[in-house]
Chains A and B, each alone.
Chain A
Amino acid sequence: MNCFEARRALLTDPARLPGDVANHVSQCERCGRFAAQVRTLDMRVADAWSIGTPPGLGDRLKLSGPQRSRAWVPVMGGLALAASVLVAALVIGFPSAQGPGGIDWAASMVAHSEYDAAHELSADPDASQDFERVIQRLGGRIRAIPDGITRAGYCVLDGKAALHAVIEHAGERFVVYVLPGVAAQQALVDLGGWHGEILSGDHSTIAVLGRGTTDAIEQLAQSLAASVQWSGSA
């Protein structure tokens, strides 16, 4: 055992030093000092890792969990039949926005909007910049940033990265999702008190959901669809 080998072991796994390395470190003053440096570094890394969690994280997760997944989990027998009837009753007269993977995007978006209600309520002065930044980082660009954006950020819907934004339009607040690379079936949404429209193109899906009147939804969805461009689209 020499100092080089001891230092390599210290930098690789200081908490699990083999016996010969530990012996060397205890007898070699320089390696002893180096071991103390590494231990201090690891304590600082552990401190830096231990970030605070957002207030209410546990409560939000608990509220969201089982209800949301009940819509996804295939259920057997009579329960499956009951669930199908329920979903059919909720999505009155309109097709569900299922994509090729069988994902019910409308249900997923409504569940996510319910889950992230705080997103809808509070306004962020930097929301317009965030909207543009998220679109860019998702691989797109925006021709004209819509007016009235109060919140914008990333979210994950069924494993897909998406823009999740809130836009005030015609005196109402609408939740907007933009999913690049997802071709959901176009649909009108009437689910759990939410109304909306899902528009799908070759390169993305755009959804606008609201709780009030539906008059402005189509206008906003069309306007967004015309504004957002993806690499590879015309």
Chain B
Amino acid sequence: MSRSRREFSVLVDAYAQDLYRYAYWLCRDPHVAEDLVQETLLRAWKSFDKLQDVKAARSWLITTVRRENLRRFERYQPTTVDVDEMEYLPAVATDDVATADEIRTRLASLPVVDREALLLQAGYGYSLKEIAEIMDTTPAAVGNRVYRARQRLLQQDVDATKREVQA
């Protein structure tokens, strides 16, 4: 195996799953997500020497996935994603399928930037400052986004409980 292949293989093993999950939640289409990951890893491979710091590398890759996704819409307005497009969701990695489906539907109903900020925090464990760097905004703006997202999701819990009681 050539050095290039070995390096690329290391990148794929280390990051493909994490990047795919993020890409999927950005575009909500498994084929596009896979393409975004491929484009990102190819860019990473060209900059392999700069990616020795694992933590910095992951942030760089996440940012690159985000930029690749935005490039898809350079000339076209992004279309609104409807909740009924959840048919594209792959299998869930949890035993509690009903809860995961329910929360995914609720996540899908959030504004895109709020959802993205929350997933980066709750899914990846990034700080407000790190998310701000990825999303090219300020930590305060990220704070507002995750605040709104959690507040709305918790409110939906309350609403659902009320509906159950009324039923």
Residues of A that sit less than 8 Å from B by CB: 8, 11-13, 15-16, 37-38, 41-42, 44-54, 57-58, 60-62, 64-66, 68-69, 72-73, 115-116, 119, 137-139, 153-156, 159-161, 164, 180-181
Known: A11-B151, A115-B38. A69 touches B31 (CB 8 A): no
Please report the C-alpha to C-alpha distance between residue A78 and residue B3 in the assembled complex, in whole angstroms: 19
Listed A/B pairs (25) with beta-carbon separation below 8 Å = A11-B146, A13-B128, A41-B157, A44-B99, A44-B100, A47-B93, A47-B94, A49-B25, A51-B91, A51-B92, A52-B90, A53-B17, A54-B30, A57-B17, A57-B20, A57-B34, A58-B12, A58-B17, A61-B16, A66-B2, A73-B46, A139-B76, A156-B36, A159-B72, A180-B76
Q: Which residues of chain B (61-91) have a CB below 8 Å from chain A?
A: 68, 71-77, 79, 89-91
Known: A45-B123, A51-B21. A156 touches B32 (CB 8 A): yes
Tally the A-B contacts, defined by beta carbons under 8 Å. Answer: 160
Please report the C-alpha to C-alpha distance between residue A12 and residue B103 in the assembled complex, in whole angstroms: 19
Known: A42-B122, A47-B93. A13 touches B21 (CB 8 A): no
Please report the C-alpha to C-alpha distance between residue A161 and residue B94 in the assembled complex, in whole angstroms: 32
Most chain B CB neighbours (cut-off 10 Å) among A50, A156, A181: A156
- Quick check: is B154 within 8 A (CB to CB) of the other chain? yes
For residue B80, give the distance in angstroms from its CB to the closest CB of chain A: 10
A116 proximity list for chain B (CB < 8 A) = 31
For residue B51, give the distance in angstroms from its CB to the closest CB of chain A: 14
Q: Is the CB of A11 within 8 A of B20?
A: no
Which residue of B is nearest A68, CB measured? B42
Please report the C-alpha to C-alpha distance between residue A124 and residue B75 in the assembled complex, in whole angstroms: 29
Please report the C-alpha to C-alpha distance between residue A48 and residue B4 in the assembled complex, in whole angstroms: 35
Given contacts A41-B157, A49-B25, A159-B39, list 5 more A-B pairs with CB under 8 A.
A46-B123, A47-B92, A53-B17, A61-B37, A156-B39
Residues of B that sit less than 8 Å from A by CB: 2, 4-5, 8-9, 12-13, 16-17, 20-21, 24-25, 27, 29-32, 34-39, 41-42, 45-46, 68, 71-77, 79, 89-94, 96, 99-100, 103-104, 107, 118-119, 121-123, 125, 127-128, 143, 146-147, 150-151, 153-154, 157
Known: A52-B90, A69-B45, A159-B71. A41 touches B35 (CB 8 A): no
Q: Is the CB of B5 within 8 A of A66?
A: yes
Please report the C-alpha to C-alpha distance between residue A31 and residue B74 in the assembled complex, in whole angstroms: 45
Please report the C-alpha to C-alpha distance between residue A74 and residue B60 in the assembled complex, in whole angstroms: 22
Q: Is the CB of A48 within 8 A of B104?
A: yes
Please report the C-alpha to C-alpha distance between residue A72 and residue B103 in the assembled complex, in whole angstroms: 41
Known: A53-B17, A58-B16, A65-B8. A48 touches B38 (CB 8 A): no
Please report the C-alpha to C-alpha distance between residue A139 and residue B77 in the assembled complex, in whole angstroms: 9
Q: Is the CB of B75 within 8 A of A181?
A: yes
Which residue of A is nearest B44, CB measured? A65
Q: Is the CB of A37 within 8 A of B76?
A: no
B154 proximity list for chain A (CB < 8 A) = 37-38, 41
A15 proximity list for chain B (CB < 8 A) = 121, 125
Which residue of B is nearest A49, CB measured? B123
Q: Is the CB of A11 within 8 A of B147?
A: yes
B4 proximity list for chain A (CB < 8 A) = 66
Please report the C-alpha to C-alpha distance between residue A62 and residue B14 in the assembled complex, in whole angstroms: 12
Please report the C-alpha to C-alpha distance between residue A155 and residue B68 in the assembled complex, in whole angstroms: 12
Q: Is the CB of A62 within 8 A of B72?
A: no
For residue A135, give the distance in angstroms from its CB to the closest CB of chain B: 12
A53 proximity list for chain B (CB < 8 A) = 16-17, 20-21, 90
Please report the C-alpha to C-alpha distance between residue A115 and residue B42 in the assembled complex, in whole angstroms: 13
Please report the C-alpha to C-alpha distance between residue A72 and residue B45 in the assembled complex, in whole angstroms: 13
